[in-house]
Chain A
């Protein structure tokens, strides 16, 4: 762990803190702990975990941003992993076909056949690392690197809710229709977000998802 975290600015709105090293659940547990700590600082609006990184927004931009960056580095060095163990939900997925229009791109990139992509994708239990992208969307850890596929050259203007997709070495399920730069390989039905619920999201960081193969369409 000789590598240092990388801290950068998102305009005057936020600071982005990126943990070094491979993406792991253990690092993510430290991110959750850092988020809990930073959220209580007076200069911080929100502390929002990403994939082994943390965005902290400013309640009001301070005269100098370096002290907050330094505070994040110091807290990171001291922080203990926060084990969140939530519930696991199972999602039936139809891979390929109309609901998985970019399966062909993943096949072309990986050299695997659609059945293999589906099997490798449905094998792990994926911990929810963070929420983001759009209301109720979960970033998942633990995808097998054999099916990693780069994000699309140009984002697609709209993919439907329930789209199961791969972006780089990550996977996830869209919670509603909208633009996306990821490769959609299948589809599922599930309500991930309901503004009438408290909290409005189905899943929280620390919960997990299992995908079950319903069918693989060519």
Chain B
């Protein structure tokens, strides 16, 4: 056994953080879930490498991001269609790749592709071996713990890689992004499905009509905490002051200003603004990838369809894992 392999951050971009699939079980202490904005991309990247689906990776929202591998390692970049270059050699995202000791990887801005996505995920074979805090490796920015020192990555940070189980073995193949395999658009605009929330019917009919039928622009004041949207003004029938209550990522709040805010992965676990709807869990990854300045539509759905959509996501991941396992068996047999 050698010491843990490391990667070193050369160019951190901004707001790149260590994330896994989120921190469950700590809501009662006021600790939100955090986790990857695009959980499907994170899970798929880990599947490509033979990791557990929830192994920790780096979420990269701003480009370029550069790092150096201090030892040989398997890796994959999923999420956005980022331009990858390993020591100047162009490589594909959504593909299981290998770096040798000393190699530098640049994750550049996404290229125009048939899918629009803004965040890339750097997954490494074995996962990032940062400490698990309150049962997760995700960065809790508000609480300043988890991930790497509870903060976004900086130049010179060194992160340890975990060791891969015997079953994990690199397979030279890739995956078609779920944005292509499971597309969802309305009138040519990327859509997310949502269910009405507690105060839905306390908004005016015109507001409800606008909410479900107009496109909404993702404003520059959007981040991992929440997406502030711009569009028609949403007006309640009468002013509301609610008692604070638990909320979850996906909740669409309408503050008194009338412009909706969708709670995202770093959202606080409670709030008090009126809630018009909640984006279903199965579509949070779609929203998490919406670039600033892009437009989205809300598509009203049912409980049954929302549960089915979650199953569809799980089925897609299970099929991806099956294909990767087959490919690894083939490679070993060859």
Measured CB to CB, the residues of A under 8 A from B are 6, 8-14, 16, 18, 23, 45-55, 57, 61-65, 130-137, 139, 150-155, 157, 167-170, 175-176, 178-179, 181, 193, 195, 199-201
Contact = CB atoms under 8 A, between A and B. Distances in A.
Contacts of B322: none
B250 A131 contact: no
Given A13-B249, A134-B142, 20 more contacts: A9-B303, A10-B247, A10-B275, A11-B194, A11-B278, A12-B303, A13-B278, A14-B246, A46-B25, A48-B27, A53-B246, A57-B27, A63-B304, A63-B307, A134-B268, A135-B145, A151-B255, A176-B142, A181-B273, A199-B29
Interface in B197-231: 197-198, 221, 225
Interface residues of B, number: 55
B241 to A, nearest CB: 4
Nearest to B244: A51
A132 B143 contact: no
B272 A167 contact: yes
Contacts, number: 182
Contact of A136 (B29, B32, B239): B29
A152 B256 CA distance: 8
Given A135-B143, A153-B255, A50 B25 contact: no
Nearest to A62: B307
Contacts of A51: 243-245
A197 to B, nearest CB: 11
Nearest to B311: A61
A38 to B, nearest CB: 12
B125 interface: no
B144 interface: yes
Contacts of B280: 11-12
Contacts of A62: 307
Contact of B242 (A11, A153, A157, A168): A168
A153 B257 contact: yes
A137 B26 CA distance: 13
A93 to B, nearest CB: 20
A13 B250 contact: yes
A18 B194 CA distance: 21
B70 interface: no
Contacts of B133: 195
B30 to A, nearest CB: 4
B29 A200 contact: yes
Contacts of A48: 27-28, 246, 269-270
B103 interface: no
Question: Looking at B29, B134, B140, B196, which has the most chain A CB atoms within 10 Å of its CB?
Answer: B29
A151 B261 CA distance: 15
Given A10-B197, A61-B310, A176-B144, A200 B134 contact: yes
Contacts of B282: 12
Contact of A195 (B143, B197, B198, B273): B143
A12 B245 contact: no
B225 A179 contact: yes
B49 interface: no
30 contacts: A6-B198, A9-B195, A12-B281, A12-B282, A13-B278, A48-B27, A48-B269, A55-B27, A55-B246, A61-B310, A130-B270, A132-B244, A132-B246, A132-B269, A133-B270, A135-B143, A135-B145, A136-B143, A139-B244, A151-B256, A151-B272, A154-B257, A155-B255, A168-B241, A175-B30, A176-B143, A178-B268, A179-B225, A181-B272, A195-B134
